[in-house]
Amino acid sequence: MQLGAMQVDAISDGTFTVRPEYFGAEGDARREFFARDGFGWLPIGCFLIRTGERTILVDAGMGPDQDELAHGMVLVGGQLFVGLGALGIGAEDITDVVITHFHTDHVGWLFDLAAEPVFPNAIIWYGAADWDYFVNGPGDIRPHIRDGFLAQASRQHPLTHDATVTPGVTAVLTPGHTPGHLCVSLESGPDRLLLLGDAITCPIQLVEPTWHSYGDVDPTTAEQTRQRLRAELETTPGVGAHFPALSAGQLLLPDQWLPRTGK
């Protein structure tokens, strides 16, 4: 997608198979979404933003790794560099990595198994409250990722307030799914796009208001954040890290999701 002077590319690192239990869905609601033996197949999304001056990766995928959740749900990563390579981008080209939150499927490519940075020239941006919850607290995190965060602290930019990464790219704190979750607001001329991370996992949540997310650390705050973003999506297109096909869309009233194709 071309957003004014910015080029925005969606890259999937892999696959996330999701069941109705992820959303707390009741009965047979939206059965068509779980059409493959009761699973919906979602991407593990990352977004590359090129402004001319900076090359920014939003989220670092699952990495060459996999994870099993309850109810047989599975995350399998490993494809990010296939997508980056297709765009002519190598690890050393990335100037910034903005992490929406510290769940395993968003930090996987930050550090290798020796806890060394995969993106050698990048500054890493994230919500400071996620460091407290995942690196120092009870949150689940791979040991080499924790060690990388601890060893490479001077190359990181923990945020306690909304912050400008570079003009037109703003990290906006949106807590609830995790304590330090952030979204990325892109703006270039009249064009805007919201990168929602996992604050909204799937657009169906916008039309099924009782659907929460399995991984919400603070469900009440997560729901307040979803409502706030839902209102923004009435005027601004957005895309989450697990939206089908990683395609952006906009909420039309009443309760209708309109996918937008890139221009």
Q: CB-wise, 43 or 168, nearer to Zn ion?
A: 43
- Give the full edge-to-edge strand order of the sheet including 249-252: 163-166, 169-173, 182-188, 191-195, 238-239, 249-252, 256-259
Q: How far is the CB of 59 from Zn ion (least distance, A)?
A: 8
| DSSP line for 82-142 | HHHHHTT--GGG--EEE-S--SHHHHTTTB-TTS-BSSTT-EEEEEHHHIIIIISSS----
Report cis status (omega within 30 of 0) of the bond before 254.
yes
Q: Which two tokens stand for residue 255?
A: 């309760």
Nearer to Zn ion, 106 or 146 (CB): 106
DSSP-derived 3-state class of residue 31: helix
Distance CA 168, CA 140 (A): 32
Cβ 106 to Zn ion, closest distance in Å? 6
Binding site for Zn ion (CB under 5 A): 105, 198
Nearer to Zn ion, 103 or 146 (CB): 103
- Minimum CB separation of residue 109 from Zn ion in Å reads 14
Would you say 22 or 51 has its CB closer to Zn ion? 22
The minimum distance between CB 42 and Zn ion, in angstroms, equals 9
User: How far apart are alpha carbons 218 and 230 in whole angstroms?
Assistant: 18
Token pair 């892109």 is found at: 186
Q: Which helix (H) or strand (E) holds 159?
A: strand 156-159
Dig out the tokens for 134 from the structure.
């995942």
Q: How far apart are CA 167 and CA 235, in angstroms?
A: 21
Nearer to Zn ion, 214 or 257 (CB): 214
The burial of 247, by beta-carbon neighbours within 10 Å (0-12 exposed, 13-18 middle, 19 or more buried), is given as middle
Given the complex with Zn ion, which of 69 and 151 has the nearer CB atom? 69
CB of 13 or CB of 198, closer to Zn ion: 198
How do the residues of the chain divide into helix, strand and coil, expressed in percent and rounded to 5? 25, 30, 45
